[in-house]
Each structure stands twice: as structure tokens, then as C-alpha cells.
Amino acid sequence: MTPAMVALNINSMLIILAFQGNDKFEVRLIIALELDARQWKCPQPLIEMKLALRRLTQGQRLRLLITDPGSQRDIPLWLQRQGFEFEMKPHSHEVMEIIILKREIDV
């Protein structure tokens, strides 16, 4: 059986569940904060992302959506230089999604 994915939004936390049949499921990803920066131009997405990361606690994740080409180039470079653990993927046409893990040592 192919696993089904369900997204829940509970108290501003996005929780992704993977169902594998027989009512078994596992939590795949918990997003504590989502920042929709699709309408902003560089450097605003980077500035707002830094502020959002400060609001998270260790182990929480930020989901960032960006369309600005400069931000799509600069933000992953900044995250890499700062040692953040993150995952990038195209979300839809022209939109990039970046999931960032907040660690104890991060900003």
C-alpha cells in the first residue's frame, strides 16, 4: 500500500503525517512557523527569515516560501555559511520552499 500524506495545522504548527495502512502513521515533519515571503524583494526575505528564526526554539522548523531570484540565490548561501541544516525544493512555478531546522547554536 502506498503511504498517504496528510497535513494538519494545529496551533500554528504544520504537522505532516504519513499513513501506512492499518491506522499506523508517523509524524514526518513538524513546522513550527511558516514565513510567506513571496511578495517581498531582496533583502526583505533574508531579514524577516533571521527574525523568524530567533522566535524558534531548538528542534523547531521554519518553512520559508520565496519567489525573488536574488533571495533564492542568497538565502541558501547564507544558511550554508551559518551552518544551518535545511532542505530546499521547488514548491510550485517560481516558488522555492526552504525548510530550516533551528539548532541550539543557531541565531
pLDDT tens-digit readout, 82-99: 999 999 987 778 999 999
Residue 25 sits in the same domain as residue 44: no
Supply the range of the domain harboring residue 26. 1-31
Residue 61 sits in the same domain as residue 10: no
Tell me how far apart the alpha carbons of residues 38 and 45 are, in angstroms, rounded to a whole number.
8
Residue 43 sits in the same domain as residue 22: no
Report CA dihedral (28, 90, 54, 16) to the nearest 10 degrees: -20
Q: Is the pLDDT of residue 1 over 50?
A: no
Write down the pTM of the prediction. Answer: 0.72
Residue 67 sits in the same domain as residue 92: yes
> What would the pLDDT profile of 19-39 be if each residue is shown by its tens digit?
566 666 555 567 889 999 999
Residue 4 sits in the same domain as residue 37: no
- pLDDT at residue 72, rounded to an integer: 96
Residue 105: which CATH number?
3.30.110.40
Number of domains forming the structure of the chain: 2
Candidates 48, 78, 51, 80; CA nearest to 66 is: 48
In the predicted model, what is the mean pLDDT of the chain?
Answer: 81
**Measured on CA atoms in the order 88, 86, 51, 53, is the torsion positive or negative?**
positive
Residue 51 sits in the same domain as residue 79: yes
Residue 52 sits in the same domain as residue 100: yes
Q: Which of 20-24, 36-40, 73-77, 102-106 has the lowest mean pLDDT?
A: 20-24
Residue 61 sits in the same domain as residue 81: yes
Residue 51 sits in the same domain as residue 90: yes
DSSP 13: E
